[in-house]
Structure 1
Amino acid sequence: MPHTVAALYQFVSLPDAAALQAPLQALCESLGIAGTLLLAEEGINGTVAGSAEAIDAFLAELRGPLLGGRLDNLECKLSTAEAPPFRRLKVKLKPEIVTFDGGRTDPTRGAGETVAPEDWNALMARPNLLLVDTRNAFEVALGTFEGAVDPGTRSFSEFRAYADGLDPAEQPEVALFCTGGIRCEKAGAYLKERGFAHVHLLKGGILKYLKTVPEAESRWRGDCFVFDERVALGHGLEERPEHEPEETR
Structure 2
Amino acid sequence: MKYEILLYYKYTNIRNPEKCMFEQRALCEKLGLKGRIIVAHEGINGTLEGTVKSTRAYIRAMKKQRGFSNIHWKKSEGNGDAFPKLSVKVRSEIVSLHLGKKSDIDPKKITGIHLSPQTLRSWYEKGEKFTIIDMRNDYEHKVGAFAGSVCPPMKNFRDLPKVLPELKRFKNKKVLTVCTGGVRCEKASGYLVKKGFKDVYQLDGGIVSYMEKYPGDDFKGSLYVFDGRVTMAFDPKTGKREIIGKCEKCKTFTENYEDCGNSFCHKQMLVCDTCVAKTGGKAFCSKRCMNKAKVNA
Question: What TM-score do the two structures reach when normalised by structure 2?
Answer: 0.76
What residue in structure 2 maps to residue 72 of structure 1? 69
1:62-108 CA distance string (max 9 Å, x none): 2213xxx2112312200112242100000000000001124511111
Q: Distance in 2 between matches of 1:56 and 1:237?
A: 21
What residue in structure 2 maps to residue 131 of structure 1? 132
**Residue 209 of structure 1 aligns to which amino acid in structure 2?**
Y
Q: SS state of the match for residue 167, structure 1?
A: helix
Q: Distance in 2 between matches of 1:44 and 1:239?
A: 33
Q: Indicate conservation of the 8 Å contact 1:211/1:237, yes or no.
A: no
- Say whether 1:100 aligns with 2:101: no
Map 1:159-238 onto structure 2 (within 5 A): 159-167=160-168, 170-215=171-216, 218-236=217-235
**Residue 46 of structure 2 aligns to which amino acid in structure 1?**
G
Q: Indicate conservation of the 8 Å contact 2:172/2:198, yes or no.
A: no
Q: Distance in 2 between matches of 1:62 and 1:201?
A: 25
Unaligned runs of 5+ in 1: none
Deviation at 1:176, TM superposition (A): 0.5
Q: Distance in 1 between matches of 2:54 and 2:238?
A: 22
Paired residue total: 243
Q: SS state of the match for residue 9, structure 1?
A: strand
- Say whether 1:50 aligns with 2:50: yes
Change (3 A) 1:86 1:139: same
Q: Distance in 2 between matches of 1:239 and 1:41?
A: 42
Q: Which runs of 4+ in 1 moved over 2 A?
A: 121-127, 163-172, 236-249
Deviation at 1:34, TM superposition (A): 0.3
Unaligned runs of 5+ in 2: 241-253, 260-265, 269-297
Greater RCO, CA 8 A, separation 6+: 1
Deviation at 1:244, TM superposition (A): 3.6
Percent pairwise identity: 30
Q: Distance in 1 between matches of 2:10 and 2:212?
A: 20
Q: Indicate conservation of the 8 Å contact 1:231/1:240, yes or no.
A: no
Q: Indicate conservation of the 8 Å contact 1:233/1:239, yes or no.
A: no
Q: Distance in 1 between matches of 2:237 and 2:205?
A: 17
What residue in structure 1 maps to residue 85 of structure 2? 88
Question: What TM-score do the two structures reach when normalised by structure 1?
Answer: 0.90
Deviation at 1:56, TM superposition (A): 1.0
Q: Indicate conservation of the 8 Å contact 2:50/2:80, yes or no.
A: no
Q: What RMSD in Å do the two structures reach over aligned CA positions?
A: 2.2
Change (3 A) 1:238 1:226: farther
